[in-house]
Structure 1
Amino acid sequence: MPVSNHNTTEQTDSAPSPASKPSWRFGDLSAAELMPQLQRHLLAQDIKANWQLVWLNNDGRPVIGLLPKVCWSVYPNDEQASSDLPNIYKVIKSCRGNGVRRSTDVNSDDNSYASMTAYMSYLEWQDELIAYSNAQEVNHDTSYINNEESPKPSYHHGLIGFIGYDIAALELSPADRIELAMQPCASLAHYDIYLTPTAHADIGWTLKTHLTNDDASENTDHETNDILINTLTSYLDELDQKLSDKHLNQPQFKDVSNITPLVLSPRWSKLDYQQAFNRTQDYLQQGDCYQINLTQKWSGSLARENNDVQSAFSLIDYLPALYRNTKAPFAGYVSVDGDDGDYLNKSSSFNADSNHFELLSCSPELFFTFTRENDTGKHSIRTKPIKGTMPRGVTNEQDERYKQQLVDSEKDRAENVMIVDLLRNDLGKYAKIGTVKVPQLFAIESFSNVHHMVSTITAELKTDTHPLAVLFGSLPAGSITGTPKKRAVEIIAELESTPRGAYCGTMGYMNFDGSGQWNVLIRTLQANALSNDDCNKERHVNLWAGGGITVASDCDAEYQECLDKVGNLLSVLAQNM
């Protein structure tokens, strides 16, 4: 289904245009430093609001979304269908209502959100999102839309969220009954209210809104939107003042420099990894696959002071230190409420950190960039799979030597080209004939702790294909499964023996005009309470790392590669660097 071309009617009488919104410096904090302060401040103002704060670094074009208009959160369904029928998932759809209120305003109307539960298949959910996107008014303001003068993609109105590995792997091999982690399988939300950096870097952040005509069909709706934006602006004014005055000793702020270290321990010993590696080799030797991406898990728990639920740290508190260390181009964060409608039943004693699922990614890997030509409406796609890793050196000489070793590695080049061929095949299903190209093969990109071998594939999409269908149909990414993909995910489920959850899925945005950008969720932490009882005890955190295994792989080298990939994250968490 193609993207609809709608004429935009900008709401100008009930809310200012994006260009006229106020701006804030927020103490000149970076986005990663701002996020914990912003989340705690907003929750202190209105504990009942479904803020669902999200941040995407977006390769240097960051966006912070808040208070989504509509959100779809997908969960495992306890009553799965038989193996010959599509998998059915529990989808909770929440809609923003009358706005936000002060937590101290006990007489305020609490009926600000509506929630409904549906049971649908993966494809039915995809089709609902496409229909919703096509029904929205496309923003044609060229200051937001990608063009030759603004080559980097950016969010300008659409959906933001994530789709986890587990649900995508299960859809790829439904008969294998791949286990789903007991957490959100996916969550996508329409963010019509968001913060972006101002055009002048020395000014800070500006608030942008797209409250369209369907929100304001009556005078009362105009007034409601005015109240919503004015209230939110006042909240941001207060935070800006507090950060400017360095009033970080207020109760709603934690001193992020004194966060308790978070120690994550490996689930596997080296012997466990070796046994899984050997079984992987057996499958490769038998011809089941050419490459299998084997990963292992580290886990721990978020701490609280003196066993006090209200003092529990949140994963977002570790975001500033993690981003400072990694500078990951496709980093991101999102928090999603539990599947029992908790945000509808919050009380003044509710601990906002205790029952949320949190996803914090320090990903260096691009999955897809979708671009749209304004004149023709043509959509193009670019993907940059990573396959091949070497650590950074201690000295410049050693660093260059390691980089050259990666350039010369026949094993890494062979693994990389396998994934390039897999992705060329994936894109070929959606691309116009003859448009799939490989403009760059075996390039080396350097990050804070590793060098990676990266290739680039591009294509032009068929005119009757919606980018969301390409995204849904191409998951999970070939770089984190292996090839052939279907058999690889089946072997992964057997060997790893525990669900990956969101890890190795994707996080990003899709504008309503079909442009967008999505990462591969590697170098990614997940925090979740395993049961309702655990909500009052501790929240579990996990982190994964792995690599592609071929018949030419060495067990010790592959095990060390896992440590190279997440060693800096483990150190930052343990020492709060």
Structure 2
Amino acid sequence: MSNKVSASTKAQLLPYASATELLHAVRHLPDPILLDSCHPSDNAGRFSIACATPTEVLEIHSAAELLLLEKLRQPLPPLTAPEIQHLPFTGGWMGYWSYDAGRLFEQLPQQAEDDLALPLIRMGLYPWALVTDHQLQQTWLVGSFNPELAEQLLQHLQASPIQVADEADFQLTNPFVSNLSHQAYLEHFEQVQAWLRSGDAYQVNLAQRFTASYKGSLYQAWQQLRSDINAPWAAFMQWQDKALLSLSPERFLLAEPDGRVETRPIKGTRPRGQTPEEDQHYRDELLHSAKDRAENLMIVDLLRNDLGRVCEPGSIRVPQLFALESHTNVHHLVSHVTGQLAPGKHPLDLLQACFPGGSITGAPKLRAMEIIETLEPCRRSIYCGSIGYLDRSGRMDFNIAIRTFIASDNQLHVWGGGGLVADSDGQTEYEETFHKVSWLIRCLQPTFPD
């Protein structure tokens, strides 16, 4: 297949379509992807993007194939139509980098089981995209496409996305079960505490994985999740018999064509309350928690250091520290770090320098990742990796793939984790991992315990 996007690019205005309708329009085509903002009232959630039928697929399984990443640096023909210059994606590379892609850039132990055995990186070169601007209530078909494709997509957009008669209904065939018992988690917690006391690390993110078997339509599963949950960096990605269903609240990295970059690390979580008074209590508790603020600051410092590897000296700023963001079922403490790429640096340099995100590893990053590999029984795969794109304009945007289901071999996997520090409490941290996933799982398995 060609590794070029055709220079005969176009832009066609279509009737306004929701994110659900965008996915419905492309889901029967090869390798469909939806990046779903879910927060149209917020500038970060202004756009939803759907793609399918890549002209090339890049898969990297080991460091021996690392040079293939250079394809992501190759310039693509620009799309110069002035009426769509505000759109974030008009064609380019889109896909995922797994957490374990960090092995391509760092030496890490080989201890946890790689039972999912998915590519470390999978990116498709998409020549066209459906992009909805929720603020302007516009939907565009942009890129390289023929009239037949435009007509086909328009017909799907105008059809009801609820009708899925050609697919078996989604259902779980076994309930979700953790790969760590309560006792095993507490034992691992104590091992982390010993490393923290010895000075090996200041913070370590420890997670457990929940797995269930399923049958039927993953598109239906996504619809169930999205009907209950809003998330600003959500994504649905399907290929072969695999899929990602991500309800991520966290942006990892944004790089603008002019070199401006930002990251928005999350560190600090509380559940939503059952009453307005209880909800306000959790908000206040999180905002005034010295422990959560210290953890957040630790990750901000780590990310400032990561950005400093590729940004102009003196350009890194922290315009927002310890801001509260509220989502469907949790409150988060979020900070905002910005910088300016140094001359000659590509967004790919930024992604490699910062990968994986410090908010889901710990600090120092490499030592925390070594500890994670030692304690967690299975590799994280795409959990805590990133889903996103490199646009033909030079724009890059990736999430942190938390609150994310991986579908593989008729099994669904989802993780819950949290950052551990010296004054963490084992039982509290264990319960927090359940807070982070129980509301996700109950969308598909209502009987899942609190």
What displacement does 1:296 show?
0.4
1:327–1:576 CA distance, 2 compared to 1 (3 A): farther
1:142–1:273 CA distance, 2 compared to 1 (3 A): farther
8 Å Cα contact 1:370/1:381 also seen in 2: yes
1:106-185 map, 5 Å: 120-121=65-66, 124-130=67-73, 132=74, 134=75, 136-146=76-86, 154-169=88-103, 171-174=105-108, 180=114, 181-185=116-120
- 2:14 maps to 23
CA deviation string 1:485-523 (max 9, x = no partner): 111111101100211111000011111222121100000
1:324 aligned onto 2:227: yes
1:285–1:170 CA distance, 2 compared to 1 (3 A): farther
SS of aligned partner of 2:171: coil
1:11 aligned onto 2:2: no
- Distance in structure 1 (CA, Å) of the matches to 2:13 and 2:414: 38
SS of aligned partner of 2:373: helix
- Distance in structure 1 (CA, Å) of the matches to 2:398 and 2:338: 15
8 Å Cα contact 1:144/1:155 also seen in 2: no
- Distance in structure 2 (CA, Å) of the matches to 1:476 and 1:198: 29
1:558 aligned onto 2:429: yes
1:237–1:365 CA distance, 2 compared to 1 (3 A): closer
- 1:115 maps to none
Larger Rg: 1
5+ residue gaps, structure 1: 1-7, 44-50, 77-86, 89-119, 147-152, 212-228, 304-312, 338-355, 373-377, 530-538
Q: How does the TM-score come out when normalised to structure 1?
A: 0.71
1:161–1:487 CA distance, 2 compared to 1 (3 A): same
1:55 aligned onto 2:34: yes
1:182-197 map, 5 Å: 182-197=117-132
1:471 aligned onto 2:351: yes
What displacement does 1:576 show?
11
- 1:230 maps to 147
1:422–1:143 CA distance, 2 compared to 1 (3 A): farther
8 Å Cα contact 1:406/1:453 also seen in 2: yes
Is the deviation greater in 495-504 or in 567-576?
567-576
- 2:42 maps to none
What displacement does 1:270 show?
1.1
- 1:527 maps to 407
Kindly tell me the number of residue pairs found equivalent between the two proteins: 435
8 Å Cα contact 2:19/2:132 also seen in 1: no
What displacement does 1:176 show?
5.2
SS of aligned partner of 2:439: helix
1:292 to 201, 204, 207: 204
CA deviation string 1:71-114 (max 9, x = no partner): 212235xxxxxxxxxx32xxxxxxxxxxxxxxxxxxxxxxxxxx
What displacement does 1:446 show?
0.5
8 Å Cα contact 1:261/1:576 also seen in 2: no
CA deviation string 1:322-355 (max 9, x = no partner): 1222210000011123xxxxxxxxxxxxxxxxxx
- Identity value in percent: 33
1:441–1:241 CA distance, 2 compared to 1 (3 A): closer
8 Å Cα contact 2:46/2:135 also seen in 1: no
Tell me which amino acid in the other structure corresponds to 1:413.
R
- Distance in structure 1 (CA, Å) of the matches to 2:225 and 2:49: 18
1:430 aligned onto 2:418: no
What displacement does 1:241 show?
5.3
SS of aligned partner of 1:470: helix
1:270–1:142 CA distance, 2 compared to 1 (3 A): farther
SS of aligned partner of 1:173: coil
What displacement does 1:56 show?
0.4
- Distance in structure 2 (CA, Å) of the matches to 1:163 and 1:450: 26
- 1:366 maps to 251
1:240–1:57 CA distance, 2 compared to 1 (3 A): closer
What displacement does 1:188 show?
1.0
8 Å Cα contact 2:51/2:129 also seen in 1: yes
- Distance in structure 2 (CA, Å) of the matches to 1:290 and 1:331: 30
- Distance in structure 1 (CA, Å) of the matches to 2:52 and 2:6: 23
CA deviation string 1:110-163 (max 9, x = no partner): xxxxxxxxxx22xx1222321x2x2x21234444345xxxxxx72122211110
1:467-506 map, 5 Å: 467-506=347-386
- Distance in structure 2 (CA, Å) of the matches to 1:516 and 1:56: 13
8 Å Cα contact 1:178/1:490 also seen in 2: no
8 Å Cα contact 2:55/2:125 also seen in 1: yes
What displacement does 1:230 show?
3.2
SS of aligned partner of 2:84: coil
What displacement does 1:22 show?
5.8
- 1:548 maps to 419
CA deviation string 1:282-334 (max 9, x = no partner): 1111111000000000001112xxxxxxxxx1333211121222210000011
* CA RMSD across the alignment: 2.6
SS of aligned partner of 1:431: coil
Q: How does the TM-score come out when normalised to structure 2?
A: 0.89
- Distance in structure 2 (CA, Å) of the matches to 1:369 and 1:33: 26
1:20-419 map, 5 Å: 21=12, 23-24=14-15, 30-32=18-20, 35=23, 37-38=24-25, 42=28, 51-58=30-37, 59-75=45-61, 87-88=63-64, 120-121=65-66, 124-130=67-73, 132=74, 134=75, 136-146=76-86, 154-169=88-103, 171-174=105-108, 180=114, 181-197=116-132, 205-210=139-144, 229-240=146-157, 242-243=159-160, 248=163, 251-252=165-166, 259-261=170-172, 263-303=175-215, 313-337=216-240, 356-372=241-257, 378-419=258-299
- Distance in structure 2 (CA, Å) of the matches to 1:74 and 1:316: 26
1:416–1:240 CA distance, 2 compared to 1 (3 A): closer
8 Å Cα contact 1:265/1:298 also seen in 2: yes
1:450–1:69 CA distance, 2 compared to 1 (3 A): same
5+ residue gaps, structure 2: 38-44
8 Å Cα contact 2:25/2:157 also seen in 1: no
Is the deviation greater in 170-179 or in 415-424?
170-179
What displacement does 1:9 show?
9.9
